[in-house]
A and B are shown apart, each in its own frame.
Chain A
Amino acid sequence: METAKKRMLTGNKAMAEAIAQEMENDKNVFVLGEDIGKYGGIFGSTQGLMEKFGPERVLDTPISETAFIGAAIGAAAEGMRPIAELMFVDFFGVCMDQIYNHMAKIPYMSGGNVRLPMVLMTGVGGGYSDAAQHSQTLYATFAHMPGMKVVAPSTPYDLKGMMASAIRDDNPVVFMFHKSLQGLGWMDQLDYAVGHVPEESYTVPLDKANVMREGKDVTIVGIQMMTHYAMEAAERLAQDGIEAEVIDLRSLAPIDKDTIINSVKKTHRLVVVDEDYRSYGMTAEIAAIVSEEALYELESPIKRLAIPDVPIPYSHVLEDFVLPGPDKIVETVKQMMDEA
């Protein structure tokens, strides 16, 4: 009998809770980044930490990303477990050398002798007219480069569990949180930005996709907002008798090929939806995996929905045009079913 009311948290509170619990368990864990102290992180991912742990372990930094992300690498090499926040993923440009030439490569170049147990967490995503320099996800940019785990959870439950895993992992983990899924009071109020989160500490693996909805007719793979849009689309498709299976990818690297392939073997159709640029991106990667490993399972060509290869425009009419959404997913799936 389920009488107890489920404990509901926003995405950002779930993340902050995981960080707090790991900080309590391990004195080597500390957080640094811009506005992460008193402000609690622009997207709320460090709320309450300053009050709990003080400025020794929760460090507001100057706007010096190369220095503080590089410093996180140096501290991690000394056995600390830093969590650095890059406020918006778009700002990676000023510090990418530290990220991909050092954080991603030192463990390998040292023959596994140097470990970098650190988390680089960063806000991603658009849809609220923040224009070309503040709206990207850049999933593929990071996932393309070997040496980093790259995860992008879609629910409060996973945000907490995957953050705990990321902090405990001995590898550098890029932890992308979607701004719209943080449950911020000043953005769209989305139902899926709030969800059940147990109070006790738990982990969710960093290499497993999640089947969010089972179906037999078509597989839709998404991540973060696109997973939720796929779920919305699936509900609508069900009304027309089309049963879509929705996979939340969760981890871009390593990618869970088995879950995708097993699903395609069942549905024989695949649509991949991505809030990143189309070319050389996640949609292409998944299409390639399925072509290589399950081509003859397919009954129709794979469809990809992603941002056509343009920077993200400001005006909402333009942005709406380039971002995939439930309508486009429904339309694409229906077309696919009609063609069959």
Chain B
Amino acid sequence: MEDYKNANVRNLNSGILSPFRRWSSKWSLWPCHFITSCCGVELAHAFASGYDGERLGTLNLGISRQSNYIIIEGTITRKMARALQFVWGQMPDPKFVNVIGACGQRGGIFWNSYNITHPSDIVPVDAFIPGCPITPEALLRGVRATQDKIVGIDRKTIDFKRVELPFEKQLEERMVPTSPKIFAPTPAIKVDVGRDVDWGEELKENLKRDLNGLYESITITDTNCIAIKTTRENLKAVAQKLRDQMKVDHVKSVNVIEVPHERKFIVEYIASSYTDEALMPVLITVFTEIGLKDPKVDSLSPIWESANYSEREMHEFFGVQFDGNKGMGRKFVLAPDTPDLPLRKEFKIAEERYVYEKGMSLDECMVPIEPPKDLYTPIPEEFIEGAYDKDEIVVPIGPHHAGSGHLRVTFRIKGDIIVDAIPEPGFVHRSMEKIAENKLYIQNVPLFERLAINDPVNMNLGYVRTLENALGIEVPERAQYLRTIMAELSRVEAFYYDAGIFSLFFGHTTGFMYAMAIREMVIEVLVKISGSRSAPSFLVPGGMRRDITDDVLKVIDNLTFAIHKRMKKFEDIFVYNPVTIARAKGVGVLTKADAIRCGMVGPFLRASGVNYDLRKIAPYEAYDKLNWEVTTGDDGDCLGRFLGRLAEIKQSIRIIKQAVDAVKRIPGPILSDDVLGEYKEAANDIKGNFFRVFGNLVLPKGEWTTVTEVARGTLLFSIMSDGESNVPYRVRVISPCWMNLRGFMEALKGERYADFWAVYGSFGYFPPEADR
């Protein structure tokens, strides 16, 4: 890399025409944006109406041969590194590279992940812009810095200096987050910790009757949660019975928990029903224990198709063999050179330190990351073979394509019709589940927010609610309403991001700009509330960081009016555009049966005619106190999915309006007494007491699973706690996009090649969220 460093700038300075070359390069930096992770959301804003990067002459193009500038947005995973090298190599000289976001530098929040690389090891970088996420202003400043560099103006970069900051005597020493973390040496891991709740005896009896002889024990683990323990041999029979007799028709999560000191794996499936109304809110955990050596279970994907991809993922992470799943022994999410079986406990990642001890060298805090070497990942052989004879062509799309996020889909196309589509996710797999095992409970709030920073509050809410359920914390009423408002704002924001991408995929840049402009308004309000554009991390267990004042509430109220006019414009130009309707209507149909089989979630499930919204079925926060409706459709096509979400946003605005009105009359703290303990003075603002209150959270023993309805569907967190450590033993997070991937591929079959973008956009597939 050293030889390449600044080579392009030097190159520009040679020859008699160099003034022209410099000038033209300066004003014509066409970025081949490299949307790798969450920061890509802010890139969209930097080039949309609010900030308009095109002012600087930078026209976002996305096609490597014709651009001369890469903006790397955030994390480069090991899998993505190859694409980066490729794209950089494809670009004609002179070319420049800009890295934005903290994790493109030394990893940022993912610094100790097993799957990331440093972009500067792969390509020569001209400018770094820090921030997590960066703001659009910062991004444009980075463009200007590159321009300056081209014409030879030196922007002073930071010189790092080490300074000693001694404590002055009179200052009270602030409590630092607990360090080192407490890991129990031989933790007691149990999935079925029974709890006394006033629920489920009847269901338990029913299950006992139906599964006679097949189970080892049935335990009620919480309200709406029931765990069935069975043997490896009976697992399949239990699943079959559950599906056929009790209408348990889909899987919400497949999880493996390794317990090395007991030499066993726990394999669990969390299933539920979309067809039986009484069972809708219930999470049925079916689990079995198998030995550490030669771990094998029967795959349940023949019974529950929705388990398919998750089983493959678990196979990669833990090495558990799911007999009968076709994807065994193959890479799916991880790159060829990612460490094997990374989620096993014996694979350790570098630990975070919070206290800098004297004499410690800085190198100890840095993980050396080996730059990836041979990164060639061929398309699986059996996928290509036979294509020629059948008169089909194989077209791989992504991970870097002008119209794809970081997902590779390999098509087999006959004529113009897609015969088969094989997905290859994992280009943004930042190993959140592993990192979460090494962080205090409270520190995982911002971590999981990075699942989808275009839907940040809902991501917080999902995680925070899991902690609250485990700790039995009641959230004060005012906080409930405020959280509802924020969650709905976040839902609106996420929709407009997806709508923008949807219109961009149709080549309709105006729709994109309008959508981003509307999003900008919502973001403005989030900034007013929390001070952060896209990553507020504002919710904490027991409530929220601080109160929302009346004047900000007024702003939110105004927003609900202001947004209407813009929404109308967006609908006029894009949604009801005859071309849009022609493109989206009747395309990518998922029937109700298909949707249930594939385990679709959220608005995409509802668009296929299943009335399933967790906000109604198992209401949380203030949703049951407000007046709103669930939107469902029957068409199950792209247009239906999109319009369904649009209608949902209108309901969201209705919710916000009511909640804002209601919350003005509700006084009170915004943090629960249960969590504050002795620090009562923090009831309205946690500032100053944060780590005292939350630093030592320990969850009770057992597994805690909570589902939340986020913008794109059901977000599931399943936290295993041993009851003594202040870090989780295992966190399983299933994001809606991950669940939707199966149905996404299903909807593609038999459609035309160009319909891929219609289907993609209508599912709002967001790779960082899916890959975790």
Partners in one complex: no
